[in-house]
Amino acid sequence: MAPHTRGMATRPKRPRDTNQLAHLVIAIATGETEDVSPTAGKNIDAARRGRLGGAKGGNARAAALNAEQRREIARNAAKRRWRNVKTKI
């Protein structure tokens, strides 16, 4: 079975290691390798529509909830935020 590849980058990521990144930058500067555009292989219109939907999503969800539901969601969020906080005595 083929691995799930939806949403994965089609271009290689830049290395996190400082030395490897420096090596890549020099290789690009000297022409040993080509620099790949971050938008290569992406549909710009689809990306724009995705961002627009994400921006609308939270407001639409909040408008659909009543006050008690919003309060319960906020209460659960606060519990999770404070779950692992150690208090000083």
**Confidence band for 8, pLDDT divided at 50, 70 and 90:** low
Is residue 25 within 8 Å of 16, Cβ to Cβ?
Answer: no
pLDDT exceeds cutoff 90 at 23: yes
In terms of phi and psi (left: phi > 0; alpha: psi -120 to 50; beta: otherwise), the region of 41 is: left
CA–CA gap between residue 61 and residue 69 (Å, rounded) = 11
CB 11 within 8 A of CB 40: yes
* Domain boundaries, given as residue ranges, for the chain: 43-83
Please give the model's pTM, rounded to 2 decimal places: 0.38
| Block residue for tokens 């590849």 | 5
How confident is the model over 47-89, as pLDDT tens digits? 888 888 778 888 888 899 999 999 999 999 999 999 888 777 7
Please give the mean pLDDT across all residues of the chain.
Answer: 83
